Amino acid sequence: MPDQSSARAHRDDAPWNGPNEEATAPPPDPPHPSAPARYRRLFAIPGAVAFTIGNLIARLPMGMFSVSAITMIAGLRGSYALAGAVTATGLAATALVGPWTARMVDRYGQARVAVPAAAVAVLGSLALVLCVRTGAPDWTLFACYTATATTPNTGGMSRARWAHLLAGDQAALHTANSFEQVADELCFMLGPVLAVFLCTELFPEAGTLIGAVLLLTGVVLFAAQRRTEPPPGGRSTGRAPLRAPGIPALLAVFLATGAVFGSLEVVTIAFADAQGHRAAAGSVLALQAAGSGVAGLVYGAWRLTGPPERRLPRCVAAMTVLMTMPLLAATLTGSLPVLAATLLVAGMATAPTMVTGMTLVQRRTPPGRLNEGMTLSVTALLGGVAAGSATGGWLVEHAGAATGYVTPASAAGTAFVLSCVATARTRRVGGAVGV
CATH number of residue 87's parent domain:
1.20.1250
Note whether residue 160 is domain-resident.
yes
CA–CA dist 203, 195 (Å, integer): 11
Other Cβ atoms within 10 Å of 167 Cβ, number: 13
Domain boundary among 166, 200, 235: 235
Pairs from 71-75 (Cβ < 8 Å, separation ≥ 24): 71/195, 71/196, 71/199, 71/200, 71/204, 71/207, 72/129, 72/132, 72/199, 72/204, 72/205, 72/207, 72/208, 73/132, 73/141, 75/199, 75/204
Contact indicator for 148, 131 with CB cutoff of 8 Å: no
Say if residue 230 is in the same domain as residue 253. Answer: no
Say if residue 344 is in the same domain as residue 225. Answer: no
Tell me: pLDDT of 143 over 70: yes
**Quick one: how far is CA 128 from the chain centroid?**
24
Note whether residue 401 is domain-resident.
yes
Note whether residue 18 is domain-resident.
no
* pLDDT score for 15: 37
Q: What's the mean pLDDT when you consider all of the chain?
A: 78
CA–CA dist 407, 386 (Å, integer): 13
Mean pLDDT of 391-409: 85
Contact indicator for 61, 214 with CB cutoff of 8 Å: yes
* pLDDT score for 342: 92
Q: What is the CATH classification number for the domain harbouring 324?
A: 1.20.1250.20
Note whether residue 68 is domain-resident.
yes
> Which residues have a Cβ under 8 Å from the Cβ of 203 and sit 6 or more positions away?
none
Query: pLDDT of 318-341, one tens digit each?
Result: 999 999 999 999 889 888 889 989
pLDDT band at residue 238, thresholds of 50, 70 and 90?
Answer: low
Tell me: pLDDT of 189 over 80: no
Say if residue 365 is in the same domain as residue 222. Answer: no
Say if residue 78 is in the same domain as residue 126. Answer: yes
Using a 10 angstrom Cβ sphere, with 0-12 exposed, 13-18 middle and 19 or more buried, the burial of residue 158 is: buried
Q: What letter represents residue 320's amino acid? A: T
Note whether residue 427 is domain-resident.
yes
Contact indicator for 422, 270 with CB cutoff of 8 Å: no
Note whether residue 35 is domain-resident.
no
Asked which of 127-136, 336-345, 425-434 is least confident by mean pLDDT, the reply is 425-434
Query: pLDDT of 254-311, one tens digit each?
Result: 889 988 887 887 788 788 878 877 667 767 777 887 888 788 777 776 666 667 778 8
Note whether residue 28 is domain-resident.
no
What residues make up the domain containing 137? 48-177+188-235
* pLDDT score for 215: 92
Contact indicator for 435, 170 with CB cutoff of 8 Å: yes
Tell me: pLDDT of 417 over 80: yes
**Quick one: how far is CA 122 from the chain centroid?**
20
| Percentage, residues of the chain above pLDDT 90 | 13
CA–CA dist 281, 35 (Å, integer): 33
Say if residue 140 is in the same domain as residue 264. Answer: no
Compute the radius of gyration of the chain from its Cα atoms: 21
Alpha helix ranges (H) inside 25-169: 35-43, 48-59, 65-77, 80-108, 110-134, 138-147, 154-165
Asked which of 8-22, 173-187, 293-307, 357-371 is least confident by mean pLDDT, the reply is 8-22
Note whether residue 215 is domain-resident.
yes
Mean pLDDT of 348-357: 84
**Overall pTM surpassing 0.85 (yes/no):** no
Mean pLDDT of 350-365: 81
Tell me: pLDDT of 428 over 80: no
Phi, psi of 58 (to 5 degrees): -70, -30
Query: pLDDT of 91-109, one tens digit each?
Result: 778 878 877 888 788 788 8
Say if residue 325 is in the same domain as residue 256. Answer: yes
Say if residue 302 is in the same domain as residue 155. Answer: no
Domain boundary among 196, 213, 235: 235
Q: Which of 126, 125, 103, 124 lies closest to 113, judged by CA?
A: 103
Say if residue 281 is in the same domain as residue 388. Answer: yes
Say if residue 148 is in the same domain as residue 243. Answer: no
* Number of domains composing the chain: 2
Say if residue 247 is in the same domain as residue 225. Answer: no
| Percentage, residues of the chain above pLDDT 70 | 83
Contact indicator for 302, 314 with CB cutoff of 8 Å: no
Say if residue 70 is in the same domain as residue 171. Answer: yes
CA distance to 165, 318, 355, 408, per residue, from 413 (Å)? 36, 10, 18, 9
Say if residue 294 is in the same domain as residue 323. Answer: yes
128 or 385, higher pLDDT: 128
Tell me: pLDDT of 66 over 80: no
Contact indicator for 375, 101 with CB cutoff of 8 Å: yes
pLDDT band at residue 35, thresholds of 50, 70 and 90?
Answer: low
Tell me: pLDDT of 3 over 70: no
Pairs from 15-20 (Cβ < 8 Å, separation ≥ 24): 15/226, 15/227, 15/229, 15/231, 16/46, 16/47, 16/165, 16/227, 16/228, 16/229, 18/164, 18/165, 18/167, 19/45, 19/165, 19/166, 19/167, 19/168, 19/169
Mean pLDDT of 178-203: 78
